[in-house]
Amino acid sequence: MTTTATGRLHPADLARVASVGLRTRRVRVTLSALGIAIGVAAMVAVLGLSASSRAGLLAEIDKLGTNLLTVTPGQTMIGADAELPLDAPTMIARIGPVDSVEHTGKIEANAYRSPHIPSVNTNSITVYAASLNLLAAVRTAVAQGRYLNAATAEQPVAVLGSDAAARLGIARIHPDTRIWVGGRWFYLAGILQPATLTPEIDASVLVGYPAARRYLDFDGHPSTVYVRAQTEQVSQVQQVLAATANPQNPGEVSVSRPSAALVARAAAQSALDGLFLGLGAVALLVGGIGVANTMVISVLERRSEIGLRRALGATKGHIRLQFLAEAILLAALGGVAGVAIGAAATTVYAHVKGWATVVPPLAWGGGLSAAVAIGALAGLLPALRAARMQPTEALRSV
């Protein structure tokens, strides 16, 4: 063992001396490090999963496109529900940078699996009249069967959103599958895949505009207009949509960008991270108490070692530094294990969800730093206690 000219332990000797105490008490050290590892793993996993889910959602938004705008009725000056004009989709289609315009119209009718279902059990399913190219605008597709066409739009034929199909208990489409809509039977043509940008489609029953007028007393007014604009001019189109959809009362029109709402939702997810980070911090604190307990017992058990080292010339600073380094090393081992466990959990879950795996530097760096800091604080008192032992007092236990 060597010391520097100022009487300090050489770093290599300090690491070797600190590791001796850990290697000779492996079970106790493992249990103490486990508490640290659990806390760090929780923190790394929370931040990693949050970052991975955000990355996955943003990637999905990019795939679906950020150029979708929706036009819906607002409220009148007296607070009543407004109504979009019948020719609103046609007027919007005249805007130069607009690529496509599709629309739905809400129908005052309910859908049931059969006429024997109580009328109050609506399952929160909404019936809409839908234009024929709606799926391309909202970037979804048919999971089973077919979507409406020019022929089926005239007939009592419906298409179910993914959530509506689940709520009605319909898993597959058969030629004779029917549902009870607005007091009459409608045959089912297909079931849609989930529509990420437009979740209202998922909980809906879609019928053609002509069929809605003929069989469900629909007045033809659109309730939502879906507009795909040229990406570089989305903001300019958004500014003129209200006045174009309803020139007489543009203030009664609401215009939104679904992708912006999803981005905000991704940012809002971090609000829940604080709760789980708090739980991780509690686990880390408990682990720190375990480290402190281990070090206190270690000092009591190694009184003879401390006395012998003091008798051979070790200073109080050497003893203090040895036990402090031992506590830090113990916590660092737990921190490294926790980072590995948290990163592994993030990788597995992200792979299952189809996300890109993202473990932010703040997660593993912060977790490891917190573990080392906890170890230093936990080992400080035992280290000071060991350093205050007099050689003669310590050697009595030999």
> What is the H or E stretch that residue 343 is in?
helix 316-353
Among the listed residues 62, 180, 59, the one whose alpha carbon sits nearest the alpha carbon of residue 117:
180
Let me know how many helices (H) and strands (E) the chain has, helices first. 14, 11
Instruction: Confirm whether pTM is higher than 0.85.
Output: no
The predicted structure's pLDDT at residue 4: 47
Going from the C-alpha of 364 to that of each of 36, 66, 106, 337, the distances in angstroms are 13, 32, 50, 11
Domain ranges across the chain: 11-61+270-395, 67-256
The predicted structure's pLDDT at residue 354: 81
- Looking at every residue in the chain, the average pLDDT score rounds to 83
The string of DSSP codes covering 252-303 is GEEEE-HHHHHHHHHHHTHHHHHHHHHHHHHHHHHHHHHHHHHHHHHHHHTH
Strongest mean pLDDT among 169-178, 284-293, 377-386: 169-178
Residue 333 has pLDDT above 50, yes or no: yes
> What is the H or E stretch that residue 105 is in?
strand 98-107
